[in-house]
Structure formats: C-alpha cells, structure tokens
Amino acid sequence: MLLTLRAASLVLFASVCAQAQTRTLALYAGPAPGLNTESTLVMRAELQRLLVPAGLQVVWKDSIVRRNGEDFELIAVGTFEGSCSPEKPAQTGIAASVADTSMSNGRVLPFFRVDCTRLIQALGRSINSLVFGRALARVIAHELYHIVARIADHQDSGVAKAVFSAQDLTDARFEFDSASISRMQLSALAGFSDISAITEP
C-alpha cells in the first residue's frame, strides 16, 4: 500500500513539474491563401506534436485581430505567400527558399515567412491535403526553432537541420533531435509578452 502511494505521488509530482515547464507560444498567423480545412487541422496537430517535447503549447491567433495587453510567454508572427492550395498550385518562378526567419544585426526576430507555392513545388505533384498540412507544419516548426532558441545556426539532423528532403517533409514521422529540444528548453524567457510591443523589422 505504501509503495502504491509513493508511486502515485511520484506520478503526480512528475505531472505537476511537466505542467510547470510548459510555455505558451502565441502564433499570430496571417491568412494562408487557399489552405483548406483538412490541411489546416493536420498542420496544427503536427506542429503541436513537434513542439510538445520542448515544453511548448501553441495558441493560434489571428494576426489581423491583435489586442493590446495580450500576455504570452513567447510570441511569433507568421506570414504566408503564394498559393497554399495543393489542388491548384500556382506556376511561378522558384523562390530563394521555402521559408525564412527575420534577422536584425545578427539577432533573430519573432517573424517568419513561408512561401506555399515554393513548398508545393518542392513536394511535387503527387500531394494531398494531409501531406501538405504535415509538410507545412514541419517548415513552420523549423522557423519557430530559430525564434524560440534565438539562434540562426542549424543542427545536423531532424527538424532543425538546414535542408529538408521531400521525404523529410512527407514521412509519417520526423522529429527534432535532442540537441534542438534542449536549445529550445534552455532558452531564456525573454520573449515578447505584449503583442503591441512588436514591430516589423
């Protein structure tokens, strides 16, 4: 009986500690032209799955409706360019990259951009809404790694590596490596706490 109580206490203690280490990341996302409901749901679920090991809880916010005084531990602002519809991919020139994060004087800023048209082109023609949502989440997670860890460098493997293959973007499982998770966990809590304080670079 005593052993059972100790085990239950340990589980409760671990649960409380895990909750205490969870940080809220408010993601203010602009409109993603053509992104359908299935891709949106898959994208959000996959992004949360990728960030849970780092103790991050994503709260999606509308970038058009910004309220002064909203208080979050971490904030990121994302924009989407091109067509985010895998059913009707736009035919445009190849962009320099699928996504990037803003920098200023060597400092990582909480702004990222995703080029949906370039991502669809990188994936090829045989994609569906589920696969596109998964790929989009992994691209966003990569940019959030830079923002949360406040580092421009990349890792040798996993979601924080410099270049993704189509397989990385579409496989059922693809994760952050342990070094990336540690960097996000150990980053100082000096994120913006008031959305009104954020200005574009």
Could you read off the pLDDT of 20-31 as tens digits, one per residue? 478 999 999 999
The number of residues in the chain equals 201
Could you read off the pLDDT of 46-73 as tens digits, one per residue? 999 999 999 999 999 987 666 666 778 8
pLDDT score for 127: 85
pTM of the entire predicted model? 0.81
Which tokens go with 73? 């531990």
Burial of 27 (0-12, 13-18, 19+ CB in 10 A): buried
* Spans in the chain with pLDDT lower than 70: 1-20, 64-69, 88-96, 125-126, 188-201
Structural domains of the chain, with CATH: 23-197 (3.40.390.10)
194 Cβ partners below 8 Å, 6+ apart? 68, 69, 70, 71
Percent pLDDT > 90 in the chain is 65
For 112, list phi and psi in degrees, rounded to 5.
-135, 160
Q: Are 76 and 67 in contact (CB under 8 A)?
A: no
